[in-house]
A = this chain, B = another copy of it.
Amino acid sequence: MSLIGTEVKPFKAQAYHNGKFIEVTEADFKGKWSVVFFYPADFTFVCPTELEDLQNNYETLKSLGVEVYAVSTDTHYTHKAWHDSSETIKKITYVMIGDPSHTLSRNFDVLIEADGLADRGTFIIDPDGVIQAVEINAGNIGRDANVLINKIKAAQYVRNNPDEVCPAKWKEGAATLKPSLDLVGKI
């Protein structure tokens, strides 16, 4: 059984956010959409391009009512240091959670035990704190924030229109399907 449809498990973590250290818990995932974006480690190679891509789309995400949480098993101190020293990371304005205790990485089933690092996993969480989409790539394959945004829009549309479904390749504004008995076997 996948994590789809399950509620985020309790946790408490320190994060770096806009020049401050803050605490984040599962309560922060209630009442708005969230993206939890795991990556293996600060100061590595794919990671900054993915995080930059996410930042470049952060305004769009915020306009959709989505908060973004990047997570690695590094500390929040290291997140700040990376933020201070990297031109790329410096631009980031979303939350960067430190997970040195592996709690979040275990809760989302992305901890690589032997390495103490997280898989490259993205989770879309609805305002009830329930996971709606999962995406995990092997170590050296980057993710695409546009793809993520499309998926969030579909998830939001489905939540707001519970009797409609988003077909493949659905983009905002495109037609949806209204399931009805008559359609069974007709499509």
A64-77, CB under 8 A of B: which get 1 and which 0? 00000000011101
**What residues of chain B lie closer than 8 Å to A19, measured between beta carbons?**
181
Quick check: is A25 within 8 A (CB to CB) of the other chain?
no
A31 contacts the other chain (CB 8 A): no
Q: Chain B nearest CB: distance from A105 CB in Å?
A: 9
Once A74-B75, A111-B1, A140-B158 are accepted as A-B contacts, the answer to whether A43 and B184 lie under 8 Å apart by CB is yes
> Residue-by-residue, is A1-37 near B (CB-CB < 8 Å gives 1, otherwise 0)?
1111100000000000001110000000000000000
Per-residue 0/1 for A94-131: is the Cβ within 8 Å of any B Cβ (1 yes, 0 no)? 00000111110000011111111101010000000001
| A116: contacting residue among B80, B100, B132, CB under 8 A | B100
A112 touches B1 (CB 8 A): yes
Nearest neighbor of A111 in chain B, beta-carbon distance = B1
Interface size class of A (residues with CB under 8 A): 35 or more
- CB <8 Å contact, B133 and A134: no
Instruction: Give Cα A150 to B146, complex, Å.
Output: 13
With both beta carbons as reference points, the residue of chain B lying nearest to A47 in the complex is identified as: B187
**Residue of A73, A100, A143 most packed against chain B (CB within 10 A):** A100
Q: Which residue of B lies closest to A77 (CB)?
A: B43
Smallest beta-carbon distance A144→chain B, Å: 5
In the complex, chain B residues whose CB is within 8 Å of the CB of A151: 137, 141
Structural contact, B4 and A119, CB atoms closer than 8 A? yes
Interface residues of A in 148-187 (CB under 8 A from B): 150-151, 154-155, 158, 164-170, 177, 179, 181, 183-187
11 contacts across the A-B interface (CB closer than 8 A): A2-B110, A43-B78, A44-B77, A45-B179, A46-B168, A78-B78, A85-B85, A102-B102, A134-B137, A141-B154, A141-B158
- The 8 closest A-B CB pairs, nearest first, are A101-B116, A49-B167, A100-B116, A53-B168, A81-B185, A142-B168, A50-B168, A140-B165
